[in-house]
Amino acid sequence: AMHKIWNESIEYFCGGEEGAHATVIAEAITNCNLLSGKAMNDLSASWWEGFDLCGMGKKRQLYMLFDTTAMKMDAVMVAVKDSILKETFEGNHVHFCHGMRPSMEALKESAAHMFARCEHFCRDGEISDEEVAELEELLEEVRFNQTSMLKAYRNLSHEEEFKGAKFVSEDLASENTFVFALSVWARKIQDLAINIIKINKDAEPRSCQGTMAAALYTGFFNTWKFPDQSK
């Protein structure tokens, strides 16, 4: 869903005129944000289903990491939605998008591919050494494309039409927000991949007694702890 949203967002944003499809994209972003919040609530209460045994604890931890990342993307996607809905396609919009689109497309594709692979690894719960190596290669590709987009952005800012305050003027406010949102989105996917590798390396088998004890301790602590006087 996320890949489709970004495909349509870039296609529309780099187009030449306003259209009704902006509302369709905005609605898709809103629905995607609602789903990520519901999934996190379900995962937080799911420990008892397998008592985190036989790799279930690691799998649940990976899924929670994946969904936490998706929730952190909510604000980013709201910025994308705002940019799309407010863009008037006037001024230097077409020139800006013409210079930025190739690098934006490259970053979007590499980040979306890595996001899909991260989802697969979280769903599987078992990550081999070969798959870790694959993630590390994907990380390098995303980093390269992010650097390339930054270079394209800087090169564009030196062109005569965009020199000085023109590049950060109201005319290009939506364009700057859109590019920044894409960069932040890709960065969050990089963080996800790094944390998946870390969890896979650090994960230890967990006993039923350990899971139950941790759950009971947390429940008891939250029930009987003193209220925070600072609030």
Q: How far apart are CA 47 and CA 135, in angstroms?
A: 27
**What does the pLDDT read at residue 204?**
55
Residue 55's pLDDT is: 45
- pLDDT score at 1: 79
Q: Say what the pLDDT of residue 52 is.
A: 45
Residues of the chain with pLDDT under 70: 36-58, 160, 162-168, 203-231
**Amino acid identity of 46?**
S
pTM of the model: 0.78
Q: Are 55 and 125 in contact (CB under 8 A)?
A: yes
CA–CA distance, 31 with 160 (Å, rounded to integer) = 41
Burial tier of 108 (Cβ tally within 10 Å: 0-12, 13-18, 19+): buried
Give the pLDDT score at 25: 96
The one-letter amino acid at 36: S
Q: pLDDT tens digits, residue range 166-206?
A: 566 778 889 999 999 999 999 999 999 999 999 888 765 55
| pLDDT tens digits, one per residue of 20-45 | 999 999 999 998 877 765 544 554 44
